[in-house]
A = this chain, B = another copy of it.
Amino acid sequence: MKKISESAVRRLSLYLRFLQEASAAGTETISSGELARRGGTTSAQVRKDLSLFGSFGKRGMGYSVRELLREIQGILGLTRRWNVALVGAGKLGSALFSYRDFEARGFQIRAVFDVDPRKVGDRWGELAIRGDDEMERVLQAEQVDIAIVAVPAEAAQPVVDRIVAAGVRSILNFAPVRLRVPKGVTLRNVDVTLELEGLSFALANGREAAVG
C-alpha cells in the first residue's frame, strides 16, 4: 500500500465531517467541488485524496453521501470503537472528559488516571479516577488502544514510557514537550503554545492564513 500523507488523512477527517453534515441535512449526493469549498481546498485535491483509496464517485453525478461516508469511516478505522484512557485528571483532562463528542465518534473513555491521591476515587460520571499505580494493569484489562496524555510537561515522558511499556500503540499528547516513543507507536501532539506562537509570527510579519 502506498504512503498516505498526514495532511491527506486530516483532509479525509474533514470530508467525513462535511458528509455527516450533508447527511443530516438530507443531501444525497455531493461533488468534489462542494467538499472542496467547505474544506477550503480544491476539487482536484479532493479527488486525488479519495483516489488514494479507490474510486467512489459517479462521473457526472458526484458522490453518494451515504456511501462515501461509509467508505471514509472504513478508511479511518471508525467503523469500530476504540478504547481510550485519559491520563491526568486536571482541568484539561476534565475538559476533554466532558467533551462528549468523542463518544459519538467511537472513542470511548474507559479509564482516567491521576497521581494525586486526593483525586483518586472521585467519580467522573460512571468512572472512578484511578491512581497511577494501577495504570499498567488497567490499560491492559480495558484493552486501551489510545492514551490521551494531559499531565504537566515534566511528568509526560515517564508517563508515556509506562503507557508504551503497557502495550498502548497510539498516544495523543497535550503536554508541551517533544516526547520520544519507539517505532511502532504513533504519537500526535496538540501544543497550544506552538499554535499561539504561530499566530504571533503571523501578526509580527503581517502575513495571512494557514489552517492548522
Interface size class of A (residues with CB under 8 A): 35 or more
Give a binary string over A89-103; 1 marks a CB under 8 Å from any B CB, 0 the rest. Answer: 011101110110110
- Residue A38 at the chain B interface, CB threshold 8 Å: yes
- Residue A49 at the chain B interface, CB threshold 8 Å: no
Most buried by B among A106, A171, A188, A190: A188
A interface residues with partner B (beta carbon < 8 Å): 1, 4, 6, 9-10, 12-14, 16-17, 38-40, 75-78, 82, 84, 90-92, 94-96, 98-99, 101-102, 105-107, 145-146, 169-172, 176, 178, 183-205, 207-212
Q: How far does the alpha carbon of A145 sit from the alpha carbon of B201 in the complex, in Å?
A: 12
B205 x A184 contact (CB < 8 A) = no
Cβ-defined partner of A98 (8 Å) among B91, B99, B176: B91
Q: Which 4 A-B pairs have the closest CB atoms?
A: A77-B204, A91-B95, A188-B212, A186-B202
Q: How far does the alpha carbon of A89 sit from the alpha carbon of B14 in the complex, in Å?
A: 26
Given the known inter-chain contacts A40-B178, A95-B95, please indicate yes or no for A101 contacting B193, CB distance below 8 A: yes
A38 (CB) vs chain B CBs: closest residue:
B178
B196 x A17 contact (CB < 8 A) = no
Cβ-defined partner of A197 (8 Å) among B78, B176, B185: B78
A170 x B145 contact (CB < 8 A) = no
Given the known inter-chain contacts A92-B99, A203-B82, please indicate yes or no for A194 contacting B146, CB distance below 8 A: no
A178 x B39 contact (CB < 8 A) = yes
